[in-house]
Structure 1
Amino acid sequence: MKLELSAFKSRIGRRLFLLFLIVIFIPLFVTGLSSFKEVSQLISYEHKESLRRTSQEYGLSLFRRLSDARRYLSIALTDLTDSTPINDDEWALLKVFFNQLHIYRDKQHKLSLLGSDIDASLSQTLATLGDERLFLVNQGDYQDVWLVERLELDGSQYIAAAQLKEEFAWPETELGAYESLCIALMSGATIHCTEPMPNEKIQQVITQPNTPTLSWTNTHGTKMLASYWALFMDHQFRVPDWYIITNKPESIVLSQLTAFARTYIPGALLALLLIVLLSVISIRRYLKPVDALIKGTQALSENDLTYRIQLNTNDEYQELAESFNAMARKLEDEFKVNSTLSSIDRRILVKTDIHACAREILQSLSMLSFPNNACIFIFDPFLQPEQVIFHYNYTHNTFTDIPTNLDQLRNSLQHHSQGENSISCSADQVQAWFPQSRWPSKQESYRFYPLFHGNQLMSGLLIGQTEKQRHARFPEFLTHTAVVFNALHREKMLERQANYDKLTGLYNRSYFQFSVNQRLKSRDAPGYQASMLFIDLDRFKNINDTLGHHTGDQLLIEAGQRILKHLPEDTIASRFGGDEFTVFIPYLPQDALASLAQRLIQKISEIYRLGDYSANISASIGISRFPQDAESFESLLRCADMAMYQAKAKGKECFEFYSQDLSIALEHRTKLERYLRSAIDNDYMKVVYQPKVDIQNRCLSGFEALSRFIHPTAGFISPEEVFTIAEETGMVMELGYHVMISAMKQQAAWQHAGIWQGRMAINISPIQLFDIHFLEHLDQAIYSSGVKPEHIELEITEGVFLDNMQKATERLNQIREKGITIAIDDFGTGYSSLSYISNLPIDNLKIDRSFILQLEKDKRYKGVISSIITMAQHLNLRVTAEGIENLEHLYFMIDHQCNDIQGYLYSKPLNAEESEALLRNPQTEKLFILTAL
């Protein structure tokens, strides 16, 4: 009870209580509506039910009449068969009931008591009916009703058929005012109607699932209400049920409901109007404060934080308005702070220079403090390379840059800043920092707020003010400022990492391509011209391998600086990758381009002082021009690259302009690529075998499988050229495996023939060797050919050890475990050091042909070759000399205990048939007879 009584202490509560009393009438009105609905339904149901009862009463009356007529027809038939005359009363009744009465005996018409003529087909139908006792004859809009009675006597069947009179069957006196009647079958066929009713409406009313009442409109436009009652006819007359349908105007049936509605509804509406009127008056009175509060909240939702609610109601509404105004003032203050912080945060998303960022931060500072002067120090060189600080004077609203030594300033603050939120500074100390500035004042107090990136002092904020009061969220302002500077620092770092080469500081490949494409797309002059230079450092790999990668990196850095230093303005330069540089230059005449290229080669070729080492390299430069040579970045680059390779082919340390001849060479290369793709399928590639001779034991010691390419139109193609393209295009795998399986099958064939049990040497590309499926392919080739692994020798070049010494060693050990021997091919042409040969899993060294050819020209090579053979012997390695073409070569190798030789002195590479003939008759003695002579 306390809870209810306490509500009256509030004035608003009392007013609402009075309002609730009025609202009670609404449930009453709902009850009235419900009552009206119930009464309406009851009246409607009663009248509809009355209409159905009328159909039932008429149906029962009809059934009685039919039963009486049938009874008197039966009496008449009985009297006639008993030869008893029909008395006058019976005769009078028969005339009342029937129009016609006919007697049949054994299906033959015998007597007509009433009426004389009857249709023959109808008579035949009546005489031959089954057990039906009622028969309908269609007469257009209505049907005649015939009653039929049967009697068997003395073996004969008698039938009495009588036609009912309409006035007897359908007396209109039984219908009430405005009522009409239809008698029909389930199919909708009409037996009798006092007024026309469509068959579909008849069928619709008698087939309704829930109620036997139907509303329909007759031909006069009168809305009728129909109801039916089913008359069961099967028991008495052996025919389907009849449906007695009574129709009556709906306005007559529902007249009481209409009268009820006319009186009830206006009264209810009037009551509702009074309730609404009183409610509106009361609610309107109490909604004025609510409207004011709504307007205030709407203004708040639209970010109008200056809106205030003015109420003087001396109740809870006024207290709520005052609370709202206090909240709005607080939100306005918080919004200003949040806007300030958000504005600072937007600098993370908006790419702007550090000057604009510093200006906005200093301007925003006045929202959270009361500064007279403030400065931002940017110590991070990525953010601010200039030696200046940013100063803001809040009295005059001026923003200026003040030159200063940031390194000296950071050193003076660094030891104070670690672990401290802020540092108090005197005016004299600030004046000492900025001796040429007038703004430091002794009337101001100064504090320095350090901002860190990790443990590194990245920036700081110096504030001078006379009032010490600060906003409670000032530390948050400092945090946001630090986050912005850190984000900008990270953005600058990411931008540099994304666009610049980490080593040299030049643009990287992707940003170079982007910049050049932008230049090409944005050209507006019809005659726009430009050039691209592709620069490759000659002999850089030697520096990297001999002096180490660290020294090589230093050389690349200095080479990049030399290139950048001697380029004209508005030039884009990049380190394209490895020891390659690319340069895009706006229009220069060809002679100026030539001078520039020559100057770059000269500067790049000067001695490099790299710590304790001195290095000397050169450069090869290819030049392409826009739009003469190409009109896209990719095409310009490809043309410059081709020109650079042409420069290298001419001996390096020179430049070359792209020309049509290079395009022809490119076309030749493209055709050669297409040729290689079908070389195996079309049998363009042949495998030949060059013999090896053991010059110490004077016998044929083995063969080396070599490739020979015969173009269908161009003829012989150099294997070196073919395999260079094959390695660049990835086709070397397919070609190499084809040579391997062909050589092994030939080796197995000779073994099975019993003509040779020596070794077959097969060259393996580094790409093949490092293929993850190489060992699987090797095992498959050995298995499918049937050759013994100990009769196979794989030849590899020194280059396989340069990129990954450990991986190459592991792979070769796996090969040797199978019993296969390993040979180093072209030994001496690569960059391998003799010092680590002893650690490699190899069995044979093959001295390159270029060394052998120098024997006659330079005596120093004799010592080199002698050293190689001696070293190999100490390491228990066999030595094979390639390119032995004259007796002097052979004498030298015999004298220095070389194991095997290859060369034209003994035999050129042979096909399989020629090799087999040589195996059967080696004729090695001729070679040694020459040496004896």
Structure 2
Amino acid sequence: FNNRLASRIVALFVAAALLPLILLALLTISQVGDELQQQGSHQARESAKSIGMDIFERLNSLTEKLQIYARAISNDPNAVFYSGLVTDEVLYGRHVEALFTLDPKGGLETFFGRQEIDGRSLLNRIHQQRIPAKVLLLIMPVENSWRGLEIYLFTPLAAERPNGPLLGLRINQESLWDREQLDSRPELICILEERGSPLYCNREPPGDWISRLYRQELRQSVNAPLNAEQVLVDGLLSASWSLFLAPHYQVKQWTVGVGIPADAALAPAQSFNRNLILVMLLSLVLITFLSIRSIRTTLDPLGKLLEATRSLSNGVFMTRVAVTGSDEFAELGDSFNDMASRLGRHFRQQQTLTQLSQALQQADSVEQIMGVLFAHFEALLGAAQIGALFCSGTGAVRQGIVWPITTYGHLVPPTIRFSDQNYALPEEILQAESSELLHRYPVVARLSPVPGIPITLLPVQRNGAQIALLAFYGLPIFQAEDERVALLRQLSEILAIALDNSQLQQQLRHQAFYDALTDLPNRV
């Protein structure tokens, strides 16, 4: 019982503890994942911003050099070489692949480098987006080229002639993007022109990552919030940053997109999840162990109570449960001990009543009946002084024998015969002070009670007639529902049967030894 009940309680307790743990773990895992996604997205955006600012600084540096070249060439076309303005890095293509002038008719004059696009194609494209007197950043698609496009910077050769010849340079894209550094980075990095077409990617982007990233950047431009699905694009924690070029280069913007592999960014979450699951399992084991130990300790009194109940059912009425503490189990143990005590006492009393009934069957006289009662009464209700009044006769005159109150174990005083008229006897068990009962029932005085001591009067009736009155001197006052009151009633019934049998035997003996007419002995 204890194990089965303890197992059920442990299972319920563990389930009750496990459910919040699971919910807490799921919430924690979700929060950690979201936080890492936000950190990864923030890191990607910061990387995109840093890359964009580096690109802008390189463009700005090239623009300043181009304007310096323009002022020098406008004064002296050969000054760009012998004045030292064109450094070795420029000459050998570190930043600039070609430097040339473009006249309004499309004529090209190259200072260094090789120009594969004819001047008129450049001029037509320039007229589509050029604002006179401003630096122009031009992206030209190139056929039959591994790069697919070329990037140019143009500025008026003379500030006073904005529609005159232009000085242009073709930018070395390796230098502009710093490909040596970007190609070695683990992130996916792409630079998109204003329409969303890629200018550079350090590796092949997956699926429609570029288009989705460009749409995401458009949403950010109108302050639309991004959700987790928009941050995590094609398995990459993605972010973008707009490089606004319109105030400087007559190009609206470039977009720098960075995608960090989600597996790498969320790797700490996987490690955290494993550790969290391990901690949960250890916590669950600890909770289960402590629950089993605590619950079994708590339910140990139930096991003792079960064993005591089995022992009690086998008739061992001396069984007691030793329960310490002051909780409900202690109260239950005390109740069981009290019940076992009452059951044992009731069983012993019933055994005594049975023995008393069997012994009374052999009693032929009042003296023998009182002797049997003296021998068994202490086992029934404890040591007490006993007196009795046995009466016979009908009508107004009753005769009887008074057995004065005496203590079991002392010599029985001689009986007193009496003959009174109209004396009253109680019909129910009464308990009161002797003085009160003397006032109500004067016949009690014949039992020689001591005034002020409680007396219990037990009437013995047979077929509606009073045949005896027993007085117990010194018994405590019982409540009406006390089990000892019921025991006294049983004793009254047994004594009534014994007295009736004794009287019947005396009548039969009298008929056998005395003549019915003369009432003289007819036998020796």
Higher relative contact order at CA 8 Å, sep ≥6: structure 1 or structure 2? 2
For normalisation by structure 2, the TM-score amounts to 0.44
Provide TM-score, normalisation by structure 1.
0.26
